[in-house]
């Protein structure tokens, strides 16, 4: 089941645990301009929203390793598109590791377009690929 989490909602412990497992460190509670689409307890997508600029940036999207390739991330992204259209957001942004070909293919299949690269962006020296989508 897909739900929306806002900054005034309690931060779910399962998200904290999933971030530790997947990334090694959690981001923690949401800032006032952030929301999270969640499919408890298997996946979530964390966004930063700027309604004045009519844009949103995908900060993190995570699927539990046991549920990869089961459509969880796709469902979260499609729900996000629908929600943002209703809010008047028309420009979406994200960055992804160059080596993450599965994610890049998913984004491209959902209408995202590559527009720029950040060289040695990540702490390990890997490049970031920047994508955008117009709603």
**CATH number assigned to the domain comprising residue 18:** 3.40.630.30
Give the distance from CA 22 to its chain's centroid: 14
pLDDT band at 40 (very low <50, low <70, confident <90, very high): confident
Residue pair 74/110 in contact by the 8 Å Cβ criterion? yes
- Residues ≥6 apart with Cβ < 8 Å to 1: 39, 40
Provide mean pLDDT across the span 25-39. Answer: 94
Q: Is the pLDDT of residue 124 over 90?
A: yes
Residue pair 96/132 in contact by the 8 Å Cβ criterion? no
> H helices of 2-134, where?
13-23, 72-87, 101-109
Q: Is the dihedral of CA 100, 103, 109, 114 positive or negative?
A: negative
The boundaries of the domain holding residue 108 are 2-134
Domain count, the chain: 1
Q: Is the pLDDT of residue 1 over 80?
A: no
Encode pLDDT of 44-72 as tens digits: 999 999 999 999 999 999 999 999 989 99
Nearest CA to 100 among 119, 128, 135, 72? 128
CA angle, residues 73, 19, 57, in degrees to nearest 5: 55
pTM of this structure: 0.93
For residue 17, the SS3 value is helix
């Amino acid at each position: 089941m897909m739900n929306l989490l806002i900054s005034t909602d309690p931060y779910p412990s399962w998200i904290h645990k999933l971030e530790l497992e997947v990334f090694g460190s959690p981001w923690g509670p949401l800032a006032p301009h952030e929301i999270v689409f969640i499919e408890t307890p298997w996946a979530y997508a964390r966004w930063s929203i700027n309604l004045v600029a009519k844009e949103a940036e995908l900060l993190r999207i995570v699927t539990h390793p046991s549920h990869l390739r089961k459509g969880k991330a796709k469902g979260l992204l499609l729900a996000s598109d629908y929600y943002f259209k209703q809010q008047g957001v028309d420009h979406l942004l994200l960055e992804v590791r160059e080596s993450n070909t599965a994610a890049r293919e998913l984004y491209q299949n959902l209408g995202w377009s590559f527009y720029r690269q950040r060289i040695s962006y990540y702490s390990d020296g890997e490049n970031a690929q920047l994508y955008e989508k117009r709603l």
